[in-house]
Structure 1
C-alpha cells in the first residue's frame, strides 16, 4: 500500500556523497596516524649505539646523567634509558654517583 521509499532530491544526494567522502578521508588519515605512531614507538625502544662517538660526546658534555635526561635527549623510553645507562656504566663510559631504588645518578668518567 505505501508505495515504497521516496527518491532523494539532488541536494540530499550530493550532501550524502560529500559526507561519505569526508568519512573515508578521515578514516584514511587515522590509519596513517596510527601507523606513524607505531613507527615512532619502535624508534623509542631502540637505544643508540654506546660506542658511537657522538653519543659519548653528548654524554661527556652533561654534568649529571639520569635516566630521565638520557630518555629526553635520545627520545627513549625510561626503561630503555635505564638499561642503556647500566650498559654504559659496565663499559666505563660513565661512573655511578648515587641513587636509590627509583633513581640512579651518574656522571661522565674522566677519560
Structure 2
C-alpha cells in the first residue's frame, strides 16, 4: 500500500547531473555518436531480388532469418517470403500461429525421398 516513495529535490538534482551530456573530448573531435540503424519498411524489387538469390542457398528460411540478415522488419520479411512462395522460388513447409518455415522445392524433394 502507499506505493514508492518520491525522491527529494537533492536526489533529483544529483540524478540530472549524472545524466548530463558528455563534453567534447578535444577540439575538432566529436564524441562517437551512435546512430540508430534504419530498417527497411517497404518491399522494393532490389531487396526482393537480393533475398531471392541468397535464400536459395539456405536449408530453411524463416522470417526472423531474413529480417536479421537483410536488416528489415519482421513484417516485411513475411511479405517477401510470401511473395517468393507465390513465385515458386520457395515452398511453405510448416506454418504455425507464430512463424512460417520455408525451403526450396529441390530441398523438399530431397527431404521427401
Q: TM-score, normalised by structure 1?
A: 0.56
1:51 CA drift (Å): 5.9
The equivalent position to 1:70 in structure 2, one of 49, 66, 69, is: 66
CA distance in 1 between counterparts of 2:83 and 2:89 reads 9
Q: Establish whether residue 90 from structure 1 lines up as the match of residue 86 from structure 2.
A: yes
Q: Which runs of 5+ in 1 are unaligned?
A: 1-21, 24-28
For structure 2, list consecutive stretches of 5 or more residues without a partner in the other structure: 1-22, 25-30, 107-113
Which whole-Å CA distance do the structure 1 matches of 2:48 and 2:81 have between them? 13
Corresponding residue number in structure 2 for 1:13: none
Q: Which has the larger radius of gyration?
A: 1
| Runs of 4+ deviating beyond 3 Å | none
Indicate which of 87, 97, 103 corresponds to 1:101.
97
> What is the correspondence of 1:55-66 to structure 2 with a 5 Å cutoff?
55-66=51-62
Structure showing the higher helix proportion among its residues? 1
